[in-house]
Amino acid sequence: MGVLDGVWHFLNFFGAAWGMAIVAATLAKLMWWRDLRGVAWLRLAVWAAASSSAVLVAGLAWTGRDGKMVTHGAMVLACAVSLWGVGWAGRRS
């Protein structure tokens, strides 16, 4: 495998996590724009991408394979929890 193939493997492995983080952060900012007015979109996206990427790596280590449904389910859960944690946790109503 060449260098370019390695780069493509890396990007495709994390592509699902990063794509979901971008979409989830955008939808959260659109749906709850009043509540998330003080939270930057980039902060939401970075935290969602980081947690989703960590779950993908843990799922690969645990199952030994990429693309298992349990890993993708855990990735969705981690993305949602990180968006909640960054956007709403610790705030007083």
pLDDT value for 84: 94
Instruction: Give the chain's residues under pLDDT 50.
Output: none
Q: What is the pLDDT of residue 88?
A: 84
- Looking at residue 1, its pLDDT comes to 82
What's this model's pTM, rounded to 2 decimal places?
0.87
CB neighbour list of residue 30: distance below 8 Å, 6 or more residues apart: none
pLDDT value for 91: 65
